[in-house]
Amino acid sequence: MMQKLLEIHEMTVSKKQRKIKRYLYDMINWDLKAICIFGARGTGKTTLMVQHYHEKYGTSEKALYISADHVFVVSYGLYEIADTFFKNGGETLYIDEIHTYPDWTVELKNIIDVYSDRQVIVSGSSTIELKKSKSDLSRRVVYYELKGFSFREFLNFGSGGKFNACSLNEILENHREISLHIKEGRSILKEFRNYLEYGYYPFFLEGKDEYFSRLGNVVEKVIFEDIAASFNLSQPKLPVIKKLLWLIATSEPFTPNVDRISKDLGISREYVYNYIEYLERAGFVINVRKKGDGFRSIRKPAKIFMQNTGLIKVLSEKTYERNAGAMRETFFANQLGTLFELTIPEKGDFIVDGRYLFEIGGKNKNSDQIKGISNSFLALDEIETGFKNTIPLYMFGFLY
C-alpha cells in the first residue's frame, strides 16, 4: 500500500513548482495540528500544500501527499493510510480533495483524535461541503479560505511585479502616490482589462488558450457534482439552476424579480429563493442586500453579482465593451466582498462597512449622484491615476 502511495506522492511533488506564493501562504499558521484549506476549484490549493511540503520537508519519510479522490486512497481508506504512515514515523499527512471521500469528516475526526501529536493538512474544492463541515470539526480544525487571484497577484505572477498588498485606508488616502508607482513601466489599463477577462483563476499561467474551456468545466463540475450532491438534487433540476446562473451572468447587474424568474424558469418562488442560495453557497454569486433592510431581506438580495468577472465572460460570452458596467461592479464586489460588508445604498453603488460610499463607472463618470455625501468616492475604470476622491478602479485589486 505505502509503496504505491509513495509513487503517487512523488508524481505530484516532483512537478515544477512556482517560487512565488499565493497571499494566503503567509497567513496560515502552519504549526497547527489540523488545517483545512478550502476554496473554489482551480485557485491553487494543491500548489499551496506542495510548496509547504518542499519548504519544510522535501522527503516522503516525514510527510506524505495523497489525493482523496484517487482509487487507491478510496480502496485502502483514509484512516488506514494515516495509521500506517504515522506508525512508520510520518509527521505530516497532506490530504487533497478531501470532500470527495465518503464520510470524510468521521475518518478525519478519528485521525486527529488518535494521532493528536501529528499534523494533518487537508484541502477541498467544494466550498459547500467544507463550510458545512465547520460545525462538526471547528474545535479540531482551523479553516482558511483561498480566494482567486487579486489584480495585485495577477501582476506579480503574470508579469513579474513585486507589489505588496495595501489596506483600504491606504488606498483611500494615498491612492495617487501608490498608483504612480504601480503604473510605472507598464500598460496598467491593458493589464487590468486582461485581468477582468482571464486573471482570477491561476490556471491562466498554464496557457490562456484553454482558460475559458477549463473554467467552463469548473462550472459544470460545481453544478452537476457539488451542488447536486450537497443539496440532494435530481438531474432534471440542475439545468434550471444553470439557466438561472446564465440569467445573472448576462444582466448588468442582476436585480432579482422573483415573480418573473419563477415564471421564466417554470418553478415556484420557493425554488427561486433556494436556487439563489445554492449558487451563493457554491461560490458562483455574491448577494448584496440593501442598506438598512437587515433580516427582512435575508432571502432576497437587492442585487446579485457573479462571483468574479471571469465567470461573466465564460457564461455570457459578451465582450468587455458590451458588458463593461457589469464587469466593473462585479470586480469591486469580488475584491471587497470577502473582506468587508457590502450593502446597496439609495444613492451610489456600494456602501463598504457601513461607512464608505462608492460610485463605480468609466472615466467620464461624474460625482453628481454622491455629491455632498461624506466619505464618498468615485472608483473609475479607464484612468491610470486619480485625484482626491476619484480613485482608479484597478487599485481595489491590491487589497490582498
Residue 243 neighbours by CB under 8 Å, 6+ apart: 265
Confidence of residue 208 (pLDDT cuts 50, 70, 90): confident
Whether residues 161 and 19 fall in one domain: no
Residue 106 pLDDT exceeds 90: yes
Whether residues 207 and 300 fall in one domain: yes
At 266-279, the pLDDT tens digits run: 999 999 999 999 99
Measured distance CA(48)–CA(66) in Å, rounded: 14
Q: Which of 128, 145, 162 lies at the terminal end of a domain, its last residue? A: 145
Residue 54 neighbours by CB under 8 Å, 6+ apart: 13, 17
- Which residue reads 466619505 in cell numbers? 375
Q: Which of 119, 145, 171 lies at the terminal end of a domain, its last residue? A: 145
pLDDT at 131: 81
Say which CATH number the domain at 97 has: 3.40.50.300
pLDDT at 282: 92
Whether residues 257 and 353 fall in one domain: yes
Confidence of residue 293 (pLDDT cuts 50, 70, 90): low
Phi, psi angle pair for 376, to nearest 5°: -110, 145
Closest Cα partner for 130 from 195, 217, 138, 379?
Answer: 138
Measured distance CA(331)–CA(307) in Å, rounded: 9
The residue segments making up the domain with residue 321 are 153-397
At 120-138, the pLDDT tens digits run: 999 998 878 888 888 779 8
Q: What is the mean pLDDT of the chain?
A: 93
Whether residues 285 and 250 fall in one domain: yes
Q: Which of 255-264, 314-323, 349-358 has the lowest mean pLDDT?
A: 314-323
Structural domains in the chain (count): 2
Whether residues 35 and 123 fall in one domain: yes
pLDDT at 294: 56
Q: What percent of the chain has pLDDT over 90?
A: 80
Measured distance CA(193)–CA(7) in Å, rounded: 42
Measured distance CA(344)–CA(302) in Å, rounded: 7
CA 396, distance to chain mean position in Å, is 16
Q: Which of 145, 165, 200 lies at the terminal end of a domain, its last residue? A: 145
Whether residues 241 and 97 fall in one domain: no
Residue 159 neighbours by CB under 8 Å, 6+ apart: 186, 191
Whether residues 272 and 306 fall in one domain: yes
Phi, psi angle pair for 324, to nearest 5°: -60, -45
Q: Which three cell numbers stand for residue 237?
A: 433540476
Whether residues 139 and 242 fall in one domain: no
Whether residues 215 and 310 fall in one domain: yes
At 223-239, the pLDDT tens digits run: 999 999 889 999 999 99
Whether residues 86 and 132 fall in one domain: yes
The size of the chain, in residues, is 400
pLDDT at 399: 98
The structure's pTM equals 0.91
pLDDT at 393: 98
pLDDT at 21: 94
Residue 297 pLDDT exceeds 80: no
Whether residues 274 and 139 fall in one domain: no
Whether residues 140 and 185 fall in one domain: no
pLDDT at 127: 78
Residue 60 neighbours by CB under 8 Å, 6+ apart: 6, 9, 10, 13
